Structure 1
Amino acid sequence: MIGLVVRRFFQLAFLLLGISFLVFASMYIAPGDPAAIIGGPTASESDVEAIRDNLGLNDPFLVQYGRYVTNAVQGDLGYSYQTSQPVWDAIVVRFPNTLKLAIASMIVAVVIGIIAGLVSALRQNSLLDVSATTFALAGISIPNFWLGAVLILIFSVNLQWLPVGGMSSPWYTIDGIKELILPAITLGTASAAIIARMARSSMLEVIQADYVRTARAKGVKESSVIWIHTLKNAMIPIITVIGLNFGFLLGGTIITEKVFAINGVGRLMIDAIAARDFPMVQGSVLLVAALFVIVNLVVDIIYTYIDPRISFD
């Protein structure tokens, strides 16, 4: 297990290096001059040139990238071109909102996905199975921004049951839970559909195994057959999908945060891209990439507890 963790952290280092290079190169060749944006419409050419020199934007690409990596290794992600605020400080302030949204969305996805997949597998080719399959197709197909707008229109504007947007209350309060409901459903629907499809196919494969038929032949209660013998052995691929989707949720909150006016990392990233705020974009992407790898490491560790036959040593 220790060997797995060490290997993954080495992989994380190389992955972040590669991602940092790609993001830095993308920002470097993107149209627009951040110095001109910072200077504003009233800045003269000499003022813009002075800003470029101050930010080091006139240096060759490799020099700029090498300086960025050297500073990043030391924990310095640079300063925002827009606000002159340290990038790390800006991310830390907004990350809790993104994390709360991702966790709430994952809870919605796991609960709905596993229940729908389980019911669909146990009632194969029935009306419930067809309904669950239809839900899965619809969940994957519906765009987040459209679903979010519809939910706001129904539950916030017409019924006035839930707030339109924002996330300012603690998650453990009634107001905090209300603020999370619509964004979590919006973001978690697609993941719920994917989990439901995986749970169904995995359950159908396991439920036909010899040890399940043997358990039933011995007179084991059907509930024990389903929850202990079947679902537990079907969880490996389901957990894989859950881990991957949680990583995607952490990086995929951009549209949902924009629709519901949530002050999170995704919204921060969108605003930074529009303003050509290179350090902010790079820092946000590196954070999401690191979290994605860490989540998958946790998933690999969970494998060994669910199925002792799995070993990564």
Structure 2
Amino acid sequence: MIALISRRFIQLVLLLFGISFLVFGSMHLAPGDPATIIGGPTASDSDIAAIRDSLGLNDPFLVQYWDYLKNIFQGDFGYSYQTKQSVAEAIAIRFPNTLNLAIASMIVAVVIGVIAGIISALKQNSWLDVTSTVFALGGISIPNFWLGTILILVFAVNLQILPVGGLSAPFWTVEGMKQLILPAITLGTGSAAMIARMSRSSMLEVIKADYIRTARSKGVKEKTVIWIHALKNSMIPVITVIGLNFGFLLGGTIITEQVFAINGVGRLMIDAIAARDFPMVQGSVLLVATLFVLVNLIVDIVYVFIDPRISYD
């Protein structure tokens, strides 16, 4: 286990180096000049030149990148070109909203996906199986922005039983939970569909195994066969999908945060990209990439507890 964590840590460092270089390079290749945006329409050429010099934008690309890396090693992710606020501080303020949304969406996805997948497998070729298949195809096909808009129109505008958007209240309060319901359903539907299909296929494979037939032949109750013997062994591929989807949810909240006016990291990233705010974009992407790798490491560790046959030594 220690060897696994050590290898993954080295991979994490190398991956973050690569991501930081790609993001840094792509932002500098993108059209538009941050100095012009910061200066505004009334800025003269000399003002823009002074801004570029103060930001170090006149230095060669590799020099700028090396300076950026040196600052990161010192825990300094830079300051926003727009607000002059520390990037780390700005992300720390917004990140709880993104994390709460991702966790709530993952809960929706796991509860709906696993239950639907298991029922679909146990009732193979029945109307429940067909319904689950249609739900999965719909969940994967429907765009988040469309689903979010429809949910707002139905539950917030017409029925007026849920708030339109925003996460102004703490998530552990009743009002905070109400504010999370619509965005969590919007973001979690696609993941629920994928988890449902994986749960179905994995459960179908397991319940046809010899040891399941042996348990049934010994007179073990069907509930025990399904929930104790079959479910645990069918969860390994499902957990893989859950881990990957949670990583994608952390980085995929951008559209949902825009639709529901949630001040999260995704929305912060969109505003930063539009303003060519290089430090803010780079800091946000590095955060999402780091969390994605850490989630996958946790998934690998969970494998060992689910199936003792798995060993990383």
TM-score, scaled to structure 1: 1.00
Residue 64 (structure 1) aligned with residue 64 (structure 2): yes
* Structure 1 residue 6: Cα displacement: 1.1
Structure 2 residue aligned with 1:268: 268
Residue 158 (structure 1) aligned with residue 141 (structure 2): no
Structure 2 residue aligned with 1:196: 196
**Displacement over 6 Å in runs of 4+:** none
Structure 1 residue aligned with 2:240: 240
* Structure 1 residue 168: Cα displacement: 1.0
Letter in 1 for 2:41: P
Structure 2 residue aligned with 1:286: 286
- Aligned pair count reads 313
SS at match of 1:43: coil
How far apart, in 2, do the equivalents of 1:312 and 1:30 lie? 42
Q: What do the CA deviations read for 1:238-292 (whole angstroms, capped 9, x no partner)?
A: 0000000000000000000000000000000000001110100000000000000
How far apart, in 2, do the equivalents of 1:292 and 1:103 lie? 14
How far apart, in 2, do the equivalents of 1:131 and 1:267 lie? 35
Note the 1:87-236 alignment, pairs <5 A. Answer: 87-236=87-236
How far apart, in 1, do the equivalents of 2:270 and 2:203 lie? 40
How far apart, in 2, do the equivalents of 1:290 and 1:171 lie? 24
* Structure 1 residue 70: Cα displacement: 1.0
Structure 2 alignment gaps of length 5 or more: none
Q: What do the CA deviations read for 1:199-246 (whole angstroms, capped 9, x no partner)?
A: 000000001000000000000000000001101000000000000000
How far apart, in 1, do the equivalents of 2:256 and 2:312 lie? 37
How far apart, in 2, do the equivalents of 1:268 and 1:103 lie? 19
How far apart, in 1, do the equivalents of 2:33 and 2:11 lie? 34
Q: What do the CA deviations read for 1:116-162 (whole angstroms, capped 9, x no partner)?
A: 00000000000000000000000000000000000000000000000
How far apart, in 2, do the equivalents of 1:47 and 1:261 lie? 34
How far apart, in 2, do the equivalents of 1:214 and 1:33 lie? 69
Structure 2 residue aligned with 1:37: 37
How far apart, in 1, do the equivalents of 2:295 and 2:189 lie? 20
How far apart, in 1, do the equivalents of 2:191 and 2:282 lie? 26
Structure 2 residue aligned with 1:51: 51
How far apart, in 1, do the equivalents of 2:84 and 2:170 lie? 28
How far apart, in 2, do the equivalents of 1:173 and 1:67 lie? 44
How far apart, in 1, do the equivalents of 2:11 and 2:71 lie? 20
Q: Percent identity among equivalent residues? A: 78
Letter in 1 for 2:83: T
SS at match of 2:308: coil
How far apart, in 2, do the equivalents of 1:84 and 1:10 lie? 33
Q: What do the CA deviations read for 1:162-187 (whole angstroms, capped 9, x no partner)?
A: 00000011111110000000000000
How far apart, in 2, do the equivalents of 1:72 and 1:193 lie? 39
Letter in 2 for 1:9: F
SS at match of 1:219: coil
How far apart, in 1, do the equivalents of 2:37 and 2:72 lie? 24
* Structure 1 residue 74: Cα displacement: 1.4
Structure 1 alignment gaps of length 5 or more: none
TM-score, scaled to structure 2: 1.00
Structure 2 residue aligned with 1:258: 258
Letter in 2 for 1:222: E
* Structure 1 residue 3: Cα displacement: 1.1
Letter in 2 for 1:171: F
